[in-house]
Amino acid sequence: MHSSSSTMFSRTPWSIQSMLVLAFVFLWYPASLESAQVFRSDDPVSIDRDNLPVSMVVRRKINDYDDFLENTFFKVGERKKQRAVNINTLGEVPNSSWFTNRIGAGVISPEQLVQGANRGEGPAPGKLTVIGGKTQGVTPGFTIKDSLGDTYFLKFDPATNPQMATSAEMISSKFFDALGYNVPEYYLINFNPSDLEIPPGATIRNELDDRIPLTKKFVDKLVSKVAHNEDGSIRAIASKLIPGSNVGPFKFYSTRGDDPNDIFPHEHRRELRGYYIFCSWLNHDDSRSVNTADFYVGSNGQGSVKHYLIDFGSTLGSGSLTAQKLRPGNENIFEARPTFARMFSFGIWLPSWVSVGFPDFPTIGRIEADFFQPDRWKPEYPNPAFQNMDAEDAFWATRLVLMFRDQDIRSMATAGRISNKVAEEYLVSTLIKRRDKVGNYWLRQVSPLDGFRVVDGELMFEDLLVKYGFDKEMRQYNASFASFDNKTGAKANVGTGSANRQGRLPLPAMIATAAENSFHVVTLTADSHAVDVFLKSVSGTQRIVGIQRK
Amino acid sequence: MKPGIFLLGSFSLVLWTASVMVGQEVTRAEEAEALRRQKTAVSKPDQSNTIEAAMLWVQERKLQEKLETPGAGYKGLRPRLGGLSTGSGFGFGIQFDRVEMLNNQLDFSLVAAGSLRQYQLYQTKIDLPRLAGEHIFVSATATHRAMPQEDYFGLGPDSKKSNRSDYLYEDTSYGARGGVRPLRWLRVGAAVDWLQLNVGHGTDPRFTSTERVFNDQNTPGLDRQPDFLRSQWFVAIDTRDSAGNPRSGGYYAASHTTYHDRSLHEFGFRRFETDLQQYVPFNAGHRVIAFRFHSSFDDPKQGQRVPFYLQQSLGGSNDLRGFREFRFRDRNQLVSNLEYRWEVFSGLDMALFGDAGKVFSGRKDLDLDNLETSYGFGFRFNTVKSVIWRIDIARSREGTRAFIKFDNVF
């Protein structure tokens, strides 16, 4: 992993920061004298072991309004052009408490994609015992225990848009799981209000935090607001209680002060920067801190923190309580330039998103692909990690997006159990089209070469623009070869060459027969983009140990 | 932990880490682990900044909800801001609510409020708004109001701004109201109440009290005030998407009210009133044309007069915004407002508006001649459901007026 002492603890208190800077000096001291090598013996790492035992983590709270204000009107976190700090030398994100390479680690079957994070079948048949409720807002929610004693939180669809929010949450959670994030287990269920059992003497806290009796009438009143099926039953999405202790959301900048494992500033984590790409694809405009959760897992004193994404009700065409409105995804809640443009033009100036049309699918809400521009998509308010995203982050994420084949997307959409098959097909075709737009745009911002391997003295690679059909044929790539001093990082040119259009580049004999543990770098260039591929001689073969795109 | 011990401990850890590593390659995993072990020594929970801490304090105590929700607060008691009549100045008071009693049918409230200009309001209300599955509504109210600085400029469209005076208006009413709501958008009902009135000496030191400028001849009811039995029927069709901040639909209401003078038999009259509102959205609801037309016609009973204090007035933040509150007053009134509202961002709409209206005494003046007009622009800070506060700046032939109000204009 590449780490940076200058950015790692940008918002930790001064005393801690100074201690850690000091620690860095000592830590790097022997390395600078003895082994300042660029590539270490364990590169590229595939696992970031960020699960050292943590004695105690205090539950933190984030205020919605404060989160909006600080992200909208202040520059939180560190903003500078800097490569992501938690990546390995291949530019990949190692598995950690934040992220587990799933689709990125290889092909996942459609069945596995649909299974997602789920490890069971959802609430067991029988009575659902209501143990809590959420009375705030237009759509209520319940906490229930099933007959096996497992706890779930139930959420519903707005009466105006049956199936919309629950299907969006179901489908999107599958995508985010497949991409590699930690998400809760989600299950779609149908139940009759009579299936809800209320224990004698049960109470819940209402919106004023007062403890009030939980009565059948109260429950009936709550469910009366939500969408019902034609047979009177109610469709809900049941999210299983995440194991561990909820210690509050994470922020998209800085690190968590009481979690020693959290050493990489969040605004410089690749999976949080690249999260922008996934959110734009799936229209997850509500991708903010309040929809994340850290859980302390493991026994007290021996556990560690695991980071989750939660609440996908405002994704795809759903705005949770209504069909998604026109602004979300196109403009932040507040943006100075369009605000003043509208103010001083007396509203005559109209953003182009106002005139976007959508088909009338209440079960889908509003999502489209024709107007969608991958680089213009916006979350509800600025996100420091998104704003730090560079072309390499985008490439990393885009490559994962493109790994979802048409049939994968179609299979995952079925997880939403949308009864209107025309609507479902529209959603599938929209996601495919958005996926292709994401790929066609972001692959052009950096060298699109990938799949590097050395076979029989040739460096082989593929052009993702060609692989995914955005270009018809591979460009002519020029290559330069250099020896690489792993201790100093110095390069010395040793020759040039050119790859054929099948993505094969013969390596010079001096590289193919290089001494054990010697390093070389191959730079492939086409148009304005280049990629460095670092090779290390190991047992007479060339092993790829590093990739850096320019 | 004392800072010195803390520092020493951390330093020791760092030195230990460094010494272990001298002379050998540091792997990525070792490097990361060392950093984590160092952070273990100095880790501590994040502290919220002052603003966030304050917001969390409010959030955790549910203060906003407790202030806004009937029945919330301390044992049902909560402060009340504003809510007095136009021109009362900054008002505040206390409100007690009990809601959803008797099987979720009955709400009860008590209000006591005053203002910096010594306006007072005392009200108790028993409300049954959800009978028969919310198809029937009934309420009973007792109210006392004291408004010691009500402006009066004289009657008719030609009243002079320079004749501004003020008077005390007090009323006490006991009444009931009920009706049916056969459809979600239709309400039909009736109301009756007993109304006791008093008009007296105005207390605004800046202006002459009304009785010193005007007399009972040109200002009916100035000398004596009767008790009224007031009866009313009403019908309202409401297709607005949101009553508090409508962007589409309409509101069409009509009422007929009879004021029976039960003590002097001198001031009985009938009033027919209409209020029509239409909201036309365009550009996907991000722009709205809002139109309102309001009319009120008073018809005195044979040989009787309409008292000046019950006559409709024009002027102020809700109708002719370029004129002072109560600037024009007469037995009949026509007023219309046209607003072009545009969304500036999710929490703010702006508006350009024009107001036109007139008061008049007889049917011969029922036309669109001699309308008073004003125009201006405004800012509406809002949510989807309501306008939280607004600033309107309006201009008329009598100058420029600015309002900060905590309600929608209509």
Q: How does the average pLDDT of chain A come out, rounded?
A: 90
Length of chain A: 550
Q: pLDDT value at position A5?
A: 33
- Contact predicate A470/A436, CB 8 Å: yes
Q: Locate the domains of chain B by residue range.
A: 3-405
Which has the closest alpha carbon to B271: B261, B283, B289, B259? B259
State pLDDT tens for residues A261-293. 999 999 999 999 999 999 999 999 999 999 999
The token pair that represents A358 in the structure block: 């959508």
Residues B119 and B90: their CA atoms lie apart, in Å, by 10
Gap between the Cα atoms of B410 and B339, Å rounded:
11
Q: Does A61 touch chain B (CB under 8 A)?
A: yes
Q: What is the mean pLDDT of residues B267-290?
A: 96
- Exposed/middle/buried for residue B5 (C-beta within 10 Å: 0-12, 13-18, 19+): exposed
Measured CA to CA in angstroms, residue A363 lies from A44, A285, A319, A327, A366 at distances of: 45, 19, 12, 20, 9
Count residue pairs from A and B with Cβ separation < 8 A.
Answer: 180
What pLDDT is stored for residue A44 in this prediction? 95
For an interface test with A, the pick among B12, B30, B40, B42 (most A C-beta atoms closer than 10 Å) comes out as B42
Pair A98, A307: CB distance under 8 Å:
yes
Contact A285, A27 (CB under 8 A): no
| Nearest-5° Cα angle at A207, A201 to A212 | 20
CA–CA dist B211, B188 (Å, integer): 40
Core vs surface per residue B326-354: b (16+ CB within 10 A) or e: bbbbbbbbbbbbebbbbbbbbebbbbebb
- Would you list the domain boundaries of chain A? 1-37, 38-112+249-442, 119-246, 449-549
Q: How far apart are CA A260 and CA A305, in angstroms?
A: 10
| Residue indicated by tokens 């495919």 | A432
The confidence band for A224, taking pLDDT boundaries of 50, 70 and 90, is confident
Terminal Cα distance for chain B, rounded: 62
Question: If you average pLDDT over residues B127-139, what whole number do you get?
Answer: 95
Cis peptide before A44 (omega within 30 of 0): yes
Q: 3-state secondary structure string, A270-313?
A: HHHHCHHHHHHHHCCCCCCHHHEEEEEECCCCCCEEEEEECCCC
pLDDT of residue A139: 60
pLDDT at A213: 83
Q: How far apart are CA A292 and CA A323, in angstroms?
A: 22
Helix axes A421-442, A275-282, angle to 10 degrees: 140
pLDDT, tens digit (0-9, with 9 covering 90-100), for A327-343: 999 999 999 999 999 99
Q: Which of A470, A379, A376, A370 is nearest to A430 (CA)?
A: A370
| CATH number for the domain formed by residue range(s) A449-549 | 2.60.40
For residue A23, give the nearest of B7, B14, B46 by CB distance.
Answer: B14
The answer, yes or no, to whether ipTM is higher than 0.85 is yes
In the predicted structure, residue A35 carries a pLDDT above the cut 60: no
B327's tokens = 């600037």
Percentage with pLDDT > 90 across chain B: 79
Candidates A48, A207, A260; nearest CB to B43: A260
Q: Mean of the per-residue pLDDT values for chain B? A: 91
CATH number of B3-405: 2.40.160.50
Buried b (16+ CB within 10 A) or exposed e, B120-145: bbbbbbebbebeeeeebbbbebebbb
Cross-chain Cβ contact B69/A34 below 8 Å: no
Please check whether residue A471 touches B, CB under 8 A.
no
pLDDT at A126: 86
Query: Higher model confidence: residue A27 or residue B202?
Result: B202
Contacts of B22 in chain A (CB under 8 A): 29-30, 34
